[in-house]
Amino acid sequence: MKLIIKEYLSSLKERGELDILLPTLLSQMGLEVFSKPLSSGNRQYGVDVAVCGHIEGGEKTVYLFSIKSGDLGRKDWNSNSKQDMLPSLQDIINVYLAVHLPEQYKGLPVSICICCGGIIKEEIRIDVSAFEKTNTKDNIKFEEWTGDKISGYIEKYLLREELLPEGSQKLLRKSIAMLEEPETSYKYFKELITQIVNNVTAKDKSKLIALRQIYLAVGILFSWSRDDNYYESAYLSSELALLYAFEILKPFLVKNSKISKVMKEIFYSIIKLHFEINAEFIEKKVLSQANKLHGLSYMVRTNNSIDINLKLFDILGRISLMGIWGYWFIEMKREDKSFISKMETIITMLHHSIIEVIQNNPTLYMPYKDSQAIDIALAYLFLSSNKNNLMFLHDYFGTLINQIEFQLYARKDKYPCNIEDYSKLLHHSENDTQEYFESVTQGSILYPLISMISAKNGFDDIYEKIQILQKKYLKHCNFQIWYPDKNSEKHYYLNDELHGATLSNVAIDADKEEYLDQVFGECKHLSIFEEISSFKYGYWTIGLLASRHYRLPVPICLFNINE
Amino acid sequence: MNFEEVATNLLGKRKDELLKELYELSVEYRKEEELYSILIQLHNEKKIDVISAFEQIQRDNESYDFFMLQRMLERILPKINYDSVESVMKVLKRCMILVTGNMTSGLLVNPFIEFCKQNEKRIEEALGLSLKSLDKEIDFISIVLLAGLEVDFDKYYKQLEILIGDLDEIVQIGAVRVLGQFYSQSETRNIHKSFELLKKVIHETEKVNIKEVALKSLCKLLILDVKLEKEGIEIIEHVLFKPTDTMLYNIAELLFFYNKNLSWKLKDYLWSQLKAINPKHNDTIRNIDHALYSIAEENKSKAIQYLEKILLENLNGIGVENFCVFKSFLMKNEKSLNYLVTKWLLSKNITLCKYAYELIPSSENGRAISIDKRLALLLKKEDYLFLAKKSCGYLFTKPVSALSYLVSLLESSPFDKGIIDIEELIYDPILINYSGKTREYLYKIYSQSSAKVRNSLDRVTKRLDKYLNEIKSINYIAEFEPTSKQREAYSRYWNDSFSAKDLQPKGFFSSFFKTQVLLYGSSSINYIIHNPNEKGQRQEVFMHPQTISTELPRMSIINPIVLDYRLTMFRVEGCEK
């Protein structure tokens, strides 16, 4: 296990990764963290992390960490950069200790920790030792915190048997080993996360440890995925980790205690980790091909159009959700203008990319499964946030409905159906009887969703077309809308039971105002913004993520949010 | 080999051995006629009994070949003496039943007639026997009556008239059938007499089977005397008021076998009657196919006219695919093929447009075709785009045909403005979907094309290259791959689809062979045993790889819905039916 952690540590970046993990670990070790990296990422006079306390029964000491990612070599030691290790250490001695160390810690022994995720290379060994020897004084010592040492502490303080259920470490190893088989890797990761959640006791500390463990597990899996350049398992696992972590966090959302703050911070770190995984995958891999005609479709490398359709709608949901996370980050960090500007750039780029992806990959104009309405809903939620996209959305839904009409009219085999099983979907084209058609189109969330979107945005032609489609071909189909109910809060994030209520046979034959009244009127019976914690406490993205991950319809009330 | 040697081989042989010997003689003896004379002599001198040997003949006996022996019987029967007519009839029946459905099934009829004609007593005896034990399988009555009419017309015609009035349907059918068979054109009097008789039978009988045979006999009479045609057609109309499969078969057979003898008026009429053909009735369709071929050799436009009529009036599963003989004519006549494809694509009739696709052989990716130059003279500007869309819509799965047709439209169009639209169709849906064979075709025709076409081809191939290069530059991304479960499920689905095909019945050719599966190795060793007493001869057959490659349209995977939608639109746009 130590090897796995060492590998993980050596892959961590200096900013946003190692400097987040280290305070988490040190806190878990019982030390008081009194200084963390600034949001700008700049050091405070050479110090990245400052803590105070005892390590393994030693003397109470102030530990000042200067952090470097990966191995520490000549390049990072002293190559005339302000960010190098040597000038940082000099800053600590000359400035931080002299004028910046908080009053209450003065007089305590100080240990300056040269910290890196990997090793200290032999090429600078003499330089480091010489510096340490020259600057060691009675109350100032030097320590070297390399990947080996940190991983030892992680193993001892975060993953030891008493803290982690039996077999959990094995599950993490298995999940890593099976990264190339994402479904299997995800399965093991899910078992691991489930064990962590089940191991939580009533004590707050136990919950805190669980969150830290989840963060660490996702981080380790991500680092290995990055090495393999294969993010599928990390993506799905981080989604699941966020949902399970939210379940643990739920009771602390209303509290303002110190521990709840720490927990929210760790949860935020998991969100950032998930966003980073998303960004690595979407930005680097997906969007680079978005501007090519049929680019993403060819990337599926298959002889089967079903594979392309399933994968591309999945990708559509992921890109859209990433954009939605962008809005969430902006809401969270209102005061950080440079961060907001960065996020806004990402959002604009994602708006543009989604439109490109759809236009260049026409399979996205025809959902083969009714449940792909979930991805379409996410795409709509994201794109409709910019009014300039409304014309595109009108064209998109118009084409989509026209194609469905053609398929239903000509009784072809590709129309939105209720088949979820892949094998059955393969055989779908073999049966063209009316009886079969009715059996695989018994219910729909897609048509009511598009009707609602059309009614809301004045896409009257599309609204009327769906009315015609229902009359002509889909009389037997139960047009329905799902709403979270009282039980939903209990099961929303773990998906351990069915929950929510469905409004059956929604009247799309009514005029659009009446239809909207019916659809949104039902929201009044249960306000998700009062009853569902993720929406209530500002983590609405978690609710949407649950919809994507567990293939639950997106709560319709979210579409009425402006009103 | 002389008489003695043949006699030595045959004398004293048991019945079963005699057939084997006769067969071996027929293989060894080069002078066929000489052998038959010897056999007739031996039989007539009662040294051998050919008829009794044939009583036991089998079709699948390994010791001899049935068809060679049947031919032998065919040649010697008219000249042999045999006391028992009944035995000869039995042999005849046996042989005919053994080859039911085979083209050789009627070969022994004329030799038997000749056999009977040698002695009128044989006719009387045979007729007696035929009437005594009525045979549903073999119509001996008509055969014997034919022999009788040739020997003594008046006597046996009277007999025939009596038999037509018989209560038994088998007897009636036999007699009615004879009415269409025994004339030469000089016997006008008899033809008219028979015509009247048939007219009477048709009007009086309620029995469909009799009407079916009468119809055939009547048509044969019309061939012999054109003067009867007008009245004959009226009678046929009456019979065909409720046509049966057999009636349509009879008409198709007449059109095939008597194509050259039928007048155009009668042909036009009979072709117009071929409605509601049973698609399962392969023999009828085969006869129509052959008849079409014969007419096409004589008058192409008539053949096309008849074919169109049949296709449009028989929308119950009969298509161009059913007429492979006629198709082979088109394959040999490029101009006719181009004419028919252009005519049908221009027809605005969806059924005919579909059949334009069937005209082109389905091997490989379709053969090169082009617009018919004569029809092109009549085209308006918008017709070129119309034809271009139709060729994309209907010939899409035969990409070389579709492409060659589009290129020919480019070449022949005098309207510069429409070129861009046709060019666009060449690129998408043709080249973008099939960039293999079509590209080869373009290379092949490039140098022979006009500057106008070359410019267009340059533009589309440039676009295609850009598109293909972009595809090639796409990075491999594991996350996009179907999951292992999906891959397994798809592989299972694919294998199941193929296994299902394996279970299909064997084709004509493969039915001759027994399939053996080798699990390992690259050659097959067998010992061929020629003689049970000798050691088998070792034979090693090396296996050779056989590959068939086919190009699937790209968009059927990447963008099947839009492809389907576009092709459908191309097909139906502007069509009236």
- Give B165 to chain A, closest Cα distance, Å: 54
Pairing of strands B523-528, B537-542: antiparallel
Answer yes or no: are the C-beta atoms of A172 and A222 closer than 8 Å: no
Answer yes or no: are the C-beta atoms of B54 and B111 closer than 8 Å: no
Contacts of A235 in chain B (CB under 8 A): 479
Residues in chain A: 563
- Does residue B89 register a pLDDT over 60? yes
**Contact status of B481 with chain A (Cβ, < 8 Å):** yes
* Phi, psi torsion values for A536, nearest 5 degrees: -70, -40
How far apart are alpha carbons A293 and A65 in whole angstroms? Answer: 50
pLDDT at B506: 56
Number of Cβ within a 10 Å radius of residue B170? 17
Contacts of B471 in chain A (CB under 8 A): 292, 294, 298
Nearest-CA residue of chain B relative to A234?
B479
What's the average model confidence in pLDDT over B93-106? 80
Cross-chain CB nearest to B470 (options A293, A315, A423): A293
Contacts of A305 in chain B (CB under 8 A): 556-560
Q: Does residue A462 sit in helix, strand or coil?
A: helix
DSSP H or E run through B190: helix B188-204
DSSP H or E run through B17: helix B15-28
Among A401-410, A470-479, B210-219, which stretch is predicted with the lowest mean pLDDT? B210-219
Answer yes or no: are the C-beta atoms of B538 and B527 closer than 8 Å: yes
How far apart are alpha carbons A546 and A98 in whole angstroms? Answer: 50
3-state secondary structure A523-556: HHHCCHHHHCHHHHCCCHHHHHHHHHHHCCCCCH
What's the average model confidence in pLDDT over B101-122? 85
**Does A181 contact B484 at a Cβ distance shorter than 8 Å?**
yes
How far apart are alpha carbons B173 and B164 in whole angstroms? Answer: 8
Answer yes or no: are the C-beta atoms of B369 and B360 closer than 8 Å: yes
- Does residue B503 register a pLDDT over 50? yes
Task: Estimate the share of chain A in helix, then strand, then coil, as percent rounded to the nearest 5.
Answer: 65, 10, 30
Helices (H), B414-507: 419-425, 432-433, 437-446, 451-472, 484-502
- Give A479 to chain B, closest Cα distance, Å: 24
Pairing of strands A478-479, A443-444: parallel
**Does B479 contact A281 at a Cβ distance shorter than 8 Å?**
yes
% of chain A exceeding 70 in pLDDT? 98
What's the average model confidence in pLDDT over B223-238? 85
Of the candidates A487, A494, A488, A491, which has an alpha carbon nearest to the alpha carbon of residue A197? A494
The β-bridge partners of A142 are A112
Q: What is the pLDDT of residues A159-214, one digit of tens each?
A: 776 667 777 888 988 999 899 999 999 999 999 999 999 988 888 888 998 999 99
* Phi, psi torsion values for A456, nearest 5 degrees: -70, -35
Angle separating helix axes A337-360 and A305-332, nearest 10 degrees = 160
How far apart are alpha carbons A47 and A38 in whole angstroms? Answer: 10
Answer yes or no: are the C-beta atoms of B78 and B111 closer than 8 Å: yes
How far apart are alpha carbons A130 and B363 in whole angstroms? Answer: 83
% of chain B exceeding 90 in pLDDT? 25
Q: What is the pLDDT of residues B442-478, one digit of tens each?
A: 999 999 999 999 999 999 999 999 999 999 988 888 8
Degrees (nearest 5) of the Cα angle A553, A559, A560? Answer: 135
- Residues A427-434: contacts with CB under 8 Å, at least 24 apart: A427/B493
Answer yes or no: are the C-beta atoms of B347 and B304 closer than 8 Å: no
**Contact status of B299 with chain A (Cβ, < 8 Å):** no
pLDDT at A163: 67
DSSP H or E run through B524: strand B523-528
**Contact status of B559 with chain A (Cβ, < 8 Å):** yes
Contacts of B556 in chain A (CB under 8 A): 305
pLDDT at B364: 56
Helices (H), A361-487: 373-383, 390-409, 422-427, 434-439, 446-457, 460-473
pLDDT at B455: 93
**Both tokens assigned to A414:** 């590709």
**Does A232 contact B478 at a Cβ distance shorter than 8 Å?**
yes
pLDDT at A122: 92
Of the candidates B481, B405, B476, which has an alpha carbon nearest to the alpha carbon of residue B438? B405
**Contact status of B562 with chain A (Cβ, < 8 Å):** yes
pTM of the model: 0.78
DSSP string, A15-44: IIIIHHHHHHHHHHTT-EEEE---TT---B
Q: Does residue A230 sit in helix, strand or coil?
A: coil
**Does A414 contact B560 at a Cβ distance shorter than 8 Å?**
yes
pLDDT at B531: 64
Of the candidates A314, A472, A454, A452, which has an alpha carbon nearest to the alpha carbon of residue A397? A454
pLDDT at A563: 41
Confidence of residue B363 (pLDDT cuts 50, 70, 90): low
Contacts of B485 in chain A (CB under 8 A): 183, 422
What's the average model confidence in pLDDT over B567-574? 92
Identify the burial level of A507 via C-beta atoms within 10 angstroms of its C-beta, where 0-12 means exposed, 13-18 middle and 19 or more buried. Answer: middle
Compute chain B's Rg from CA coordinates: 32
Nearest-CA residue of chain A relative to B559?
A363
Q: What is the pLDDT of residues A31-48, one digit of tens each?
A: 999 988 766 556 688 899
DSSP string, A377-398: HHHHHHHTTSGGGHHHHHHHHH
What's the average model confidence in pLDDT over B148-171? 86
Q: What is the pLDDT of residues B267-322, one digit of tens each?
A: 888 888 887 788 888 888 999 999 999 998 888 888 898 998 888 887 777 888 88
How far apart are alpha carbons B559 and A211 in whole angstroms? Answer: 44
Question: How crowded is the C-beta side of B278, counted as CA atoms within 13 Å?
Answer: 12
The answer, yes or no, to whether ipTM is higher than 0.90 is no
Confidence of residue B504 (pLDDT cuts 50, 70, 90): low
Cross-chain CB nearest to A426 (options B484, B490, B557): B490
How far apart are alpha carbons A148 and A154 in whole angstroms? Answer: 10
**Does B558 contact A407 at a Cβ distance shorter than 8 Å?**
no
What's the average model confidence in pLDDT over B488-506? 73
| Residues 487 through 526 of chain B touching chain A, CB cutoff 8 Å | 489-490, 492-493
Answer yes or no: are the C-beta atoms of B287 and B251 closer than 8 Å: no
What's the average model confidence in pLDDT over A313-326? 96
Of the candidates B389, B343, B337, B339, which has an alpha carbon nearest to the alpha carbon of residue B361? B337
- Does residue A413 register a pLDDT over 60? yes
Q: Does residue A404 sit in helix, strand or coil?
A: helix
**Does A235 contact B470 at a Cβ distance shorter than 8 Å?**
no
Of the candidates B383, B427, B439, B301, which has an alpha carbon nearest to the alpha carbon of residue B574? B383
Nearest-CA residue of chain A relative to B484?
A181
**Both tokens assigned to A33:** 């963290």
C-alpha pair distances (Å), A213 with each of A146, A159, A185, A431, B234: 21, 7, 18, 50, 98
**Does B477 contact A362 at a Cβ distance shorter than 8 Å?**
no
- Looking up tokens 């996020």, which residue turns up? A343
What's the average model confidence in pLDDT over A49-63? 91
Confidence of residue A108 (pLDDT cuts 50, 70, 90): very high
Q: What is the pLDDT of residues B417-435, one digit of tens each?
A: 788 999 999 999 999 999 8
- Does residue B110 register a pLDDT over 50? yes
How far apart are alpha carbons B94 and B75 in whole angstroms? Answer: 17
How far apart are alpha carbons B24 and B34 in whole angstroms? Answer: 15
Report which residue type is found at B409.
L
Query: What's the first-to-final CA gap in chain B, in angstroms?
Result: 72
- Does residue B510 register a pLDDT over 70? no
Query: What's the first-to-final CA gap in chain A, in angstroms?
Result: 52
For chains A and B, CB pairs below 8 A equal 105
**Does B474 contact A292 at a Cβ distance shorter than 8 Å?**
yes
Nearest-CA residue of chain A relative to B496?
A427
**Does A305 contact B560 at a Cβ distance shorter than 8 Å?**
yes
Of the candidates A468, A558, A465, which has an alpha carbon nearest to the alpha carbon of residue A519? A558
Q: What is the pLDDT of residues A244-276, one digit of tens each?
A: 999 999 999 998 888 899 899 999 999 999 999
How far apart are alpha carbons A376 and A321 in whole angstroms? Answer: 11
What's the average model confidence in pLDDT over B198-205? 87
Cross-chain CB nearest to B557 (options A183, A293, A305): A305
What's the average model confidence in pLDDT over B322-346? 90
Identify the burial level of B252 via C-beta atoms within 10 angstroms of its C-beta, where 0-12 means exposed, 13-18 middle and 19 or more buried. Answer: buried
C-alpha pair distances (Å), B306 with each of A484, B325, B330, B353, B355: 68, 15, 15, 17, 14
**Does A403 contact B562 at a Cβ distance shorter than 8 Å?**
yes
Mean pLDDT score of chain A:
91
Choice between B190 and A230, residue whose per-residue pLDDT is larger: A230
| Residues 440 through 479 of chain B touching chain A, CB cutoff 8 Å | 467, 470-471, 473-479
**Contact status of B153 with chain A (Cβ, < 8 Å):** no
- Give A294 to chain B, closest Cα distance, Å: 7
Question: How crowded is the C-beta side of A498, counted as CA atoms within 13 Å?
Answer: 3
- Give B260 to chain A, closest Cα distance, Å: 46
**Does B557 contact A302 at a Cβ distance shorter than 8 Å?**
yes
DSSP class of residue B508? T
Pairing of strands A110-116, A140-145: parallel
List the single best residue of B463, B486, B550 to mutate versus A (max A Cβ within 10 A): B486
